[in-house]
Structure 1
Amino acid sequence: MKTGFLSALLASTVLIAGPALAQQKTLYVAGYGGSYEQVMRKDVIPAFEAKAGVKIEYVAGNSTDTLAKLQAQKGNQQLDVIILDDGPAYQAVSLGFCGTLAPGEIYKDVAPVMLFKSNKAVGLGMVGTGIMYSKKIFDENKWPAPTSWADLKDPKYKKKLVVPPINNTYGLHTLIAMAQLAGGGESNIEPGFKTFKDEVNANVLAYEPSPAKMTELFQNGQAAIAIWGSGRAKAFADTGYPAEFVYPKEGGYALGIAGCPVAGSKLESEANAFLQYMLSPAVQVVMATGNGAGPANTKVTLPPEAQKGIPYGDQVKQLKAVDWDIANAKREEWTKRWNREIER
């Protein structure tokens, strides 16, 4: 999807009008790095800048980095829009960092599961957490494709497994999955820590949060299997690397991509217009085909070739949801314990 097409579409969407276009302003948008940032910079941001008469400064970082920036800038926010995982988004709302969404017709088309009761954030899309593996390495070793979260404990993957740390949602999903395998869950995380210490840790090559470093570990042949998101895996496979992605038979995890206008932003109107633009069908298709994000807009139809590995239609039924009320309340405690006991 080219920016020219998006520019044409924007002509019919509700954006900033009249005086707001008189002089260019700078809108600060914080969101993910890696392949997500690339798609945003190349195929999403330019059309909005051209139509809205604003310059967008994109601030890349993972969700916990963005939340930390909001906390550090409390009372003098320098960000206008944030895009982050659903768990940290709920934290941002509860901490008062998100302003109320301006009314917009587009929200009538958003899937109910993507709407926040607070009306201070909205889901922009969804990816699924599952298992990515190198088909080349698996074929060379005659290994069968992974099918279960329990496969992470298999000794044949010693120093071949990559898992993001738990300050990253993919890592947190993995800890919860290990707890659930052993009869626990969000309200009883102990089995998860025990499984990691006793059965998974020996297989871990790195606890890696960086998308660039994750792909590098696969490209240089060090890593063979990892926990990652469907969108990240799709973007990696699109580069030509033989990356395959599967949801474990016990179920992958839904990871919502959420956005909110930052409370106190001097560009409240522009921030809300940008979020509504992100939900427009054309942009939703761009994010699905370019970054593997399942659409939040129910009016979006993806062609069959664009649906592989993306949470869309029946694939959404394979995903489980985290109880964020419990997880967010315990996350700081779990992270300190993780750093002390697991990722030393």
Structure 2
Amino acid sequence: MISAVMALSSAAGIVQAQDKPTLYLGAYGGSYESIFRDSIIPAFEKTHDVEIVYVPGNSTDTLAKLQAQRNDQQIDVAIMDDGPTYQAINYGLCQSQAQDAKLNDLYDFARFPDDKAAGVGIIAGGLAYNKAIFEEEGWDAPSSWDDLRDERFAGAINVPSISNSYGLYALVMMARMNGGGESDIEPGFQAFERDIAPNVLSFTPSPGKTSELYQNHEIVMSVWGSGRVQSLADTGFPIEFVYPEEGAVALVQGACLVEGTQHAGLAQAFIDYLMSPEVQILLARERGNGPTNKHVVLPEELADKVPYGDRVANLVTLDWNTVNENRQDWTNLWNRRIER
């Protein structure tokens, strides 16, 4: 009898464990994943009695998974850079969150078309430089995207390939500054081909490699993101981020409520959690993200380190529909004309 009772009890426990819902989260790997696993996910799992499985990958990897699983989605929430998020929306992979009142707390540029994604973090794309070397040489700090043309920095700059958001930002900004823009990218290619490429030591998109180039004193300036710069600065390296006078570009990390999820309510609750002040402040501290929630008040020691306050008002955004329509052609041109 005792063994029978134990068997029944064990079976009930198995059924109960199986009944606990599981959310699959597709998002960035590396330190981002570590922050989520250690400091963000456990509290949500406890509050909502849910298990979250983290599926790491860069934005293009996550987008590819969503496309491949279109008819049988395995991911419930996907966090991607804004470019791939716009693509996911256009492919019909994200469902509207318009019924969610929490979206009213976001900056306008952090709300995606038809509210089919919600911004959960802001990174500024601009310039970075080695402050110690600039001071040794008596150089003024860079202040403009045009500083990429300066012959003093010949062979000492890193600009990521346009497969990376930051390289793409530089190309579009140079086009805008020379009479073009997303709908007329040729002026940007001409500026790169004629003036900028000769100054570039490396087109690596790898943040680890970029950090290594700085630490080995192989480069003195780069096109990079504010979060990556802050991570390197936190190690004690004398690097500083610059918001160019023409505008730094807003990279908005979008949270997509995946079309086809079987747990839409829980998935929406998790996205709301990511927009909450406590999580936004944590990501600012641990990741260098600017808050997308306009009501978040950052502690003074964080306010100067991330896109926040007046700096947010001066960020520029790209026409992602035009960019995504042309990106493959631009990549082919880039490979032929710039990275030869």
* Pairing 1:201–2:197 present: yes
**How many Å apart are 1:21 and its aligned residue?**
8.4
2:322 counterpart letter in structure 1: I
Match of 1:307 in 2: 303
Deviations 1:237-284, CA, capped at 9 Å, x for gaps: 122221101111111111111111211123333322211110111001
1:231 counterpart letter in structure 2: G
CA 155–20 in structure 1, closer or farther in 2 if over 3 Å, else same? farther
CA distance in structure 2 between the partners assigned to 1:20 and 1:105 by the alignment: 33
Retained in 2: the 8 A contact 1:134–1:225? yes
TM-score between the two structures when normalised by the length of structure 2: 0.88
Match of 1:152 in 2: 148
* Pairing 1:112–2:118 present: no
* Pairing 1:285–2:251 present: no
**Structure 1 gap segments, 5+ residues each:** 1-18
Match of 2:336 in 1: 340
CA distance in structure 2 between the partners assigned to 1:336 and 1:263 by the alignment: 32
How many matched pairs? 326
Retained in 1: the 8 A contact 2:98–2:116? no
Match of 1:210 in 2: 206
**How many Å apart are 1:56 and its aligned residue?**
2.8
Match of 1:125 in 2: 121
**Structure 2 gap segments, 5+ residues each:** 1-14
2:251 counterpart letter in structure 1: L
Mapping of residues 167-186 of structure 1, within 5 Å: 167-186=163-182
Match of 2:96 in 1: 100
Identity across the alignment (%): 48
Classify the secondary structure of the residue corresponding to 1:294.
coil
* Pairing 1:241–2:220 present: no
CA distance in structure 1 between the partners assigned to 2:237 and 2:170 by the alignment: 24
Structure with bigger gyration radius: 2
**How many Å apart are 1:25 and its aligned residue?**
4.2
Deviations 1:174-210, CA, capped at 9 Å, x for gaps: 0011112222111110011111111111222222222
TM-score between the two structures when normalised by the length of structure 1: 0.87
2:269 counterpart letter in structure 1: A
CA distance in structure 1 between the partners assigned to 2:311 and 2:16 by the alignment: 42
* Pairing 1:190–2:207 present: no
CA distance in structure 2 between the partners assigned to 1:24 and 1:164 by the alignment: 43
* Pairing 1:266–2:270 present: no
CA distance in structure 1 between the partners assigned to 2:54 and 2:145 by the alignment: 35
Match of 1:318 in 2: 314
CA 239–328 in structure 1, closer or farther in 2 if over 3 Å, else same? same
Classify the secondary structure of the residue corresponding to 1:319.
coil
1:86 counterpart letter in structure 2: D
CA distance in structure 1 between the partners assigned to 2:287 and 2:194 by the alignment: 35
RMSD, matched Cα? 2.2
CA distance in structure 1 between the partners assigned to 2:55 and 2:239 by the alignment: 28
Greater shift after overlay, 170-179 or 160-169? Answer: 160-169
